[in-house]
Amino acid sequence: MRTHILGYPRIGSNRELKKACEQYWSGKTSLHELLEVGKTLTSQHWKLQQEAGIDLIPCNDFSYYDQVLDMTLTVGAIPERYQEIASQKSELELYFAMARGFQKDGLDITAMEMTKWFDTNYHYIVPEFQKNQEFKLFSDKIITEFITAKRSGVNAKPVIIGLLTYLLLGKEKESGFDKLDLVQNLLPVYIRIIKELEHHGAEWIQFDEAFLVLDLNKKAKEAFQFVYTEIRKQFPNLKFIVATYFEGLKDNLSLAVSLPVDVLHIDLVRCPEQLDEVLHSIPETLSLSLGIVDGRNIWKNDFEKSLAIIKQAVSKIGSNRVFIAPSCSLLHSPFDLDLEKNEEILSPEIKQWMAFAKQKVYEIVNLKKLASENPDYNTLQALAENKKAIENRKTSTLIHNQDVKNRVDVTTEEDAKRNNPFNVRKEIQQEVLQLPLFPTTTIGSFPQTKEVRNWRAKFKKGELTAEQYDNLLKQETERTIRWQEEIGIDVLVHGEFERNDMVEYFGEQLEGFAFTQNGWVQSYGSRCVKPPVIFGDVHRPNPMTVYWSKYAQSLTQQWVKGMLTGPVTILQWSFVRDDQPRSLTCKQIALAIRDEVNDLEKAGIRIIQIDEPAIREGLPLRKSEWQNYLKWAVEAFRISASGVEDATQIHTHMCYSEFNDIIQNIADMDADVITIECSRSQMELLNAFADFKYPNEIGPGVYDIHSPRVPSKEEMLQLLKKAHAVIPAQQLWVNPDCGLKTRHWDETEKALIAMVEASREASEEFALETL
Ligand code: GLN
Ligand code: ZN
């Protein structure tokens, strides 16, 4: 029996990589310094796994921004617009330009698109393909990382995004071809990479082929067969692992077990039911890697349960064909529970139920020892402790609240309905709100500057009193309100300066949530999030946002939007309890948000935005399971939004959403206004809304806030016109793609001033047109 890790988190136990990248980007440190941080981190992570006793340790799981972008650079799929940078700058400069855009030295180039990694909250950079896309070995990162590992005494297992998964993650940038047609062009580069790795002494290679758990057409299935047969032909002696995760193999099972590789990894956390079938159909030439330790959640593994699974596998195929592993890469787990030392933040009772990446590595090793004939005393001790913690969690009084359960039981369909349909509400709202055509607004947050974050840090350390902190935030809020008034934004926001994070802020005020001090996971690039832990029944003891919304509204005659995070997003971006269905936890959160929406209305807030950026990423990976999810997710949103009068305008906001196939469900949410991401895709996403004739109002983002690049008025006007070509003017809002918290004030000011001008010009042109 062997142990392996599919991938280790790379950001560092204290987010060293984040800090190093940001310093380098801002010009404060050199490339050399950044590379040193990268080297230190990789070698620390290898050493940690080596000391724990992991048999196969991954390499190339490290990345300065994103593993898909790494692959894009490796195979030289550099889009045309970066050619100039490619010829002038270093590889890493080119790499960051592709990730973040480039606006320097007389060049002005947009970033590549970014989207969610399967159903996680990690974002990858989408590869761009042309019709006759050619590939070549461009970056040798994989090989150098392997050599570095070897020099530090680790014969690592390179982790490579599988050829088919890489192609399927990408996007055709012109019509008239299918990305799968590129297999023939790409295969030689993969062969070349493998050859180099073999040459340098690699014995194992892991191909991540998560697409094997998705719906695949015939062509894709044949391509899988073809590619792995070709690779096998060239490398009869290397050992290949094909890793699948986030779902079960289901109808792709026979394909997966027929691939001529050595080990198949399956996710038994997401889909434990697949074990029987897999064991039944696995050929003798194939070993099985059991993904039994949850790579995406923070709960301690239940050793007894896992041992039963291992035992079942061993008795069927023998221990030498069994591998023990986390369900997926540990990229989605926070680093180290041992760093959670502050008992006021994370109580010992809750902490004992949890395991982070480092602890999971040890769980894997312990499971292997426990599954062997004669586990030693320490290992048996670990088993006893594990049993105790699992038992404690099941019976803890911290978890259950009868009032919450009762309220969920009496919630009816009526609670999920507004009083009147949208067309009735629209008139009433217009009477009250009196908004112009093409109204401008923002998505909520304004720059979280160093000062703002400093105040919060100081307040937490006790260096600022609550009153001092409150005053500083009030000043910043007032300044932001005044500035929005000045430049002529129609619907203002308070800026969200009091919030650390759009989920954590709410979780901190809800019951049933726990927090960590250092439980960071990478979201995109250098951006990390610290998801709250939902461990018990959720409810809202007190109003959460009324104070700030009321304050902001008191400063101005214009409307200020109330800002809330929706139930699905709170669920999706938290570590969720695994002892009851997610839908039930979501409903509990929905009721808590409903209370907040109602309180905001009572406090005089007439426009309330309930952000649901995560609703689409929560979609099950298999289409057959979508409707079930959408039913409870949409219902949860509606429960939160439907306690208000017709005159109160409910907004929602979503990021990076491709809505084509769920547009009906988006409409079913029945928000009065929806703002969405659109600019990176040049309004392409809007087609879904146009074809469907989306009935309510919509604000397609006209500028990409994920890049420091400042768009011009003309650009935004152009996008607005594109939007107007498919959506009637009376339905359109003008806004950025997302919140501005990660941007600087100077960029924000320039961009929003231009945005307001673009909106004015659009309405002038529209007025002329309709004369
Ligand atoms: N209101 C949030 C903000 O502006 C929305 C962020 C998001 O959708 N990710 O920051
Ligand atoms: Zn957003």
Give yes or no: residues 435 and 373 share one domain. no
pTM of the shown model: 0.91
Give yes or no: residues 353 and 408 share one domain. no
Query: Three-state SS for 160?
Result: strand
Note the pLDDT tens digit of each residue in 265-324. Answer: 999 999 999 999 999 999 999 999 999 999 999 999 999 999 999 999 999 999 999 999
Give yes or no for a contact between 4 and 157, defined as CB atoms under 8 angstroms apart.
Answer: yes
Cα(17)–Cα(37) distance, rounded to whole angstroms? 7
- Tell me, yes or no, whether 456 lies in a domain: no
Give yes or no: residues 372 and 429 share one domain. no
- Residue 771 is predicted with a pLDDT of 61
- Kindly name the residue from 651, 706, 724, 744 that is annotated as catalytic: 706
Give yes or no for a contact between 310 and 288, defined as CB atoms under 8 angstroms apart.
Answer: no
Give yes or no for a contact between 110 and 707, defined as CB atoms under 8 angstroms apart.
Answer: yes
Range from 197-201, 480-484, 683-687, 746-750 carrying the lowest mean pLDDT? 683-687
Other CB atoms within a 10 A radius of the CB of residue 299 amount to 21
Look at residues 377, 395, 413 and tell me which one is the last residue of a structural domain.
395
The verdict on the CB of residue 739 being under 6 Å from ligand 1 is yes
Q: How far is CA 615 from the centre of its chain?
A: 11
The verdict on the CB of residue 164 being under 6 Å from ligand 1 is no
Q: Is 187 annotated as a binding residue?
A: no
Quick one: angle between helices 31-52 and 16-25, nearest 10? Answer: 170
Cα(399)–Cα(393) distance, rounded to whole angstroms? 8
Query: Three-state SS for 657?
Result: coil
**Sequence-distant contacts of 172-180: CB under 8 A, at least 24 apart:** 172/129, 172/131, 173/79, 173/128, 173/129, 173/130, 174/130, 174/131, 176/131, 177/131, 177/132, 178/219, 179/129, 180/219, 180/220, 180/223
Q: Is 573 annotated as a binding residue?
A: yes
Give yes or no: residues 428 and 292 share one domain. no
- Tell me, yes or no, whether 337 lies in a domain: no
Note the pLDDT tens digit of each residue in 370-416. Answer: 999 899 999 999 999 999 999 999 989 999 999 999 999 999 999 99
615 CA distance to ligand 1 centroid (A)?
Answer: 13
- Tell me, yes or no, whether 470 lies in a domain: no
658 CA distance to ligand 2 centroid (A)?
Answer: 13
Note the pLDDT tens digit of each residue in 343-372. Answer: 999 999 999 999 999 999 999 999 999 999
Q: Provide the CATH number for the domain around residue 236.
A: 3.20.20.210
- Tell me, yes or no, whether 286 lies in a domain: yes
User: Atom 3, ligand 1: which residue's CA is nearest?
Assistant: 739
Cα(634)–Cα(26) distance, rounded to whole angstroms? 41
Answer yes or no: 706 catalytic: yes
Q: Which ligand 1 atom sits nearest the alpha carbon of residue 654?
A: 8
The verdict on the CB of residue 736 being under 6 Å from ligand 1 is no
Which pair of tokens denotes residue 323?
Answer: 């591998």
Give yes or no: residues 282 and 406 share one domain. no
Cα(660)–Cα(418) distance, rounded to whole angstroms? 25
Which pair of tokens denotes residue 312?
Answer: 């079942």
Give yes or no: residues 358 and 429 share one domain. no
Mean pLDDT of 134-163: 97
Q: Is 271 annotated as a binding residue?
A: no
User: Atom 4, ligand 1: which residue's CA is nearest?
Assistant: 739
Note the pLDDT tens digit of each residue in 628-653. Answer: 999 999 999 999 999 999 999 999 99
- Tell me, yes or no, whether 598 lies in a domain: yes
- How many domains is the chain partitioned into structurally? 2
Q: Is 750 annotated as a binding residue?
A: no
Give yes or no: residues 185 and 239 share one domain. yes
Count of H helices and E strands in the chain? 28, 24
Give yes or no: residues 279 and 424 share one domain. no
Give yes or no: residues 444 and 316 share one domain. no
- Tokens 């006759």 found at: 132
Cα(155)–Cα(466) distance, rounded to whole angstroms? 53
738 CA distance to ligand 2 centroid (A)?
Answer: 4
The verdict on the CB of residue 635 being under 6 Å from ligand 1 is no
Question: Max CA-CA distance within the chain?
Answer: 88
Which pair of tokens denotes residue 341?
Answer: 């030392």
445 CA distance to ligand 2 centroid (A)?
Answer: 10
Note the pLDDT tens digit of each residue in 577-609. Answer: 999 999 999 999 999 999 999 999 999 999 999
Q: Give the DSSP per-residue string, 172-233.
A: ESSSS--GGGGHHHHHHHHHHHHHHHHHTT--EEEEE-GGGGS---HHHHHHHHHHHHHHHH
Give yes or no: residues 117 and 75 share one domain. yes
Which residues sit opposite 107 in a β-bridge?
104
Give yes or no: residues 176 and 270 share one domain. yes
Residue 661: band (very low, low, confident or very high) from pLDDT cuts 50, 70, 90: confident
Torsional class of 495: left (φ above 0), alpha (ψ -120 to 50), beta (otherwise): left
Note the pLDDT tens digit of each residue in 507-556. Answer: 999 999 999 999 999 999 999 999 999 999 999 999 999 999 999 999 99
Residue span of the structural domain in which 631 resides = 402-449+478-765
Which residue from 422, 466, 490 is spatially nearest to 642, judged by alpha carbons? 422
Which pair of tokens denotes residue 96?
Answer: 């960051």
User: What is residue 13's DSSP assignment?
Assistant: T
The verdict on the CB of residue 4 being under 6 Å from ligand 1 is no
- Which amino acid is residue 143, in one-letter code? I
Mean pLDDT of 68-90: 96
**What percent of the chain is modeled with pLDDT above 70?**
100
Is the pLDDT at 77 greater than 90? The verdict is yes
Is the pLDDT at 656 greater than 70? The verdict is no
The verdict on the CB of residue 705 being under 6 Å from ligand 1 is no
Pocket test for ligand 1, best of 565, 570, 611, 706 (most atoms within 8 A of CB): 611
User: Atom 5, ligand 1: which residue's CA is nearest?
Assistant: 739
Is the pLDDT at 680 greater than 80? The verdict is no
Give yes or no: residues 316 and 425 share one domain. no
Q: How far is CA 732 from the centre of its chain?
A: 28
Pairing of β 673-676 and β 697-700:
parallel
- Tell me, yes or no, whether 103 lies in a domain: no
Query: Three-state SS for 674?
Result: strand
Is the pLDDT at 437 greater than 80? The verdict is yes
> How many angstroms separate the Cα of 745 from the Cα of each of 27, 450, 497, 749?
18, 11, 13, 6
Strand blocks (E) in 590-737: 607-611, 649-654, 673-676, 697-700
Q: Is 445 annotated as a binding residue?
A: yes
- Tell me, yes or no, whether 243 lies in a domain: yes
- Residue 404 is predicted with a pLDDT of 96
- Tell me, yes or no, whether 195 lies in a domain: yes
647 CA distance to ligand 2 centroid (A)?
Answer: 25
Is the pLDDT at 72 greater than 70? The verdict is yes
Q: Give the DSSP per-residue string, 429-444.
A: HHHHH---SS-BB--S
Burial of 26 from C-beta contacts in 10 A (0-12 / 13-18 / 19+): exposed
Angle value at C-alpha 611, between 608 and 612, nearest 5 degrees: 140
- Residue 34 is predicted with a pLDDT of 98
